[in-house]
Amino acid sequence: MRDMTAANLRSAFGGESMASQRYKVWGAKAEEEGFQNVGRLFRAIAHAEQAHARNHFIEMGGVPGEFLVASMAGFGIGSTSQNLQAAIEGELFEVNEMYPAYRETAQSQDERGAVRSFFYATSAEATHARMFQRAKDAVDGGQDMDLQAVHVCEVCGYTHEGDPEVCPTCGAATERFIAFEG
Ligand SMILES: [Fe+2]
Ligand SMILES: [Fe+2]
């Protein structure tokens, strides 16, 4: 694998792994504050980020070794409104800056597995940003958000509210979805 794409996969692996853990903590915090649905949304999206991290890790499987990994990451536990704001900014950074650049590099280096892994991730992050924005609007109005069952594609991390059909991102059947129900 070409060095630049390998470095980008490591960075994305680091970012997705941390996002997943951060969302679990922020989800518990939301539940503590009485926002059960926001907590459930954080848990569902944590699962999607975990799928992204796993896919990136598998794609760089042929590149062993130890590396320092730099990746964009928020730290700290704030109020749920603040945590949601940080989550939105993180997702938008991935959608608008990080993944387009990583994908373009992987494409120019003809690293097709990495291109797919970056595509899977970036497809989900725009949805995440919108869902977190809805959550933040509700919380800032003093209410929990309305949220149906959230379904996460185990293969690619596609995140869908309501009943899923075949995954539009990766083509996986509905049996591959994990449900986060209220
Ligand atoms: Fe995301
Ligand atoms: Fe999928």
The DSSP string of 102-154 is: HHHHHHHTT-HHHHHHHHHHHHHHHHHHHHHHHHHHHHHTTSPPP---EEEET
What does the pLDDT look like over 6-15, one tens digit per residue?
999 999 999 9
Cβ atoms 26, 45 nearer than 8 A: no
The average pLDDT across 108-121 equals 97
Residue 22 pLDDT exceeds 90? yes
From the CA of 45, how far away is ligand 1's center (Å)?
6
From the CA of 124, how far away is ligand 1's center (Å)?
6
Which ligand is the nearest neighbour of the Cα of 41? 1
From the CA of 78, how far away is ligand 2's center (Å)?
32
Residue with tokens 């964009």: 72
From the CA of 113, how far away is ligand 1's center (Å)?
20
Cβ atoms 43, 131 nearer than 8 A: no
Predicted local confidence at residue 49, as pLDDT: 98
Residue 81 pLDDT exceeds 90? yes
Predicted local confidence at residue 182, as pLDDT: 86
Cβ atoms 117, 8 nearer than 8 A: no
Which ligand is the nearest neighbour of the Cα of 99? 1
What does the pLDDT look like over 32-79, one tens digit per residue?
999 999 999 999 999 999 999 999 999 998 888 888 887 777 788 999
Residue 102 pLDDT exceeds 80? yes
Q: Which residues surround ligand 2, an ion (CB under 5 A)?
A: 153, 155-156, 158, 167, 169-170, 172
Which ligand is the nearest neighbour of the Cα of 168? 2
From the CA of 6, how far away is ligand 1's center (Å)?
21
From the CA of 17, how far away is ligand 2's center (Å)?
18
What does the pLDDT look like over 119-146, one tens digit per residue?
999 999 999 999 999 999 999 999 999 9
Cα–Cα distance measured from residue 48 to residue 41, given in angstroms and rounded to the nearest whole number: 11
Rg (CA), the chain: 16
Predicted local confidence at residue 80, as pLDDT: 98
Cα–Cα distance measured from residue 124 to residue 158, given in angstroms and rounded to the nearest whole number: 5
Q: What is the pTM of this model?
A: 0.95
From the CA of 10, how far away is ligand 2's center (Å)?
22
From the CA of 151, how far away is ligand 2's center (Å)?
10
Predicted local confidence at residue 12, as pLDDT: 96
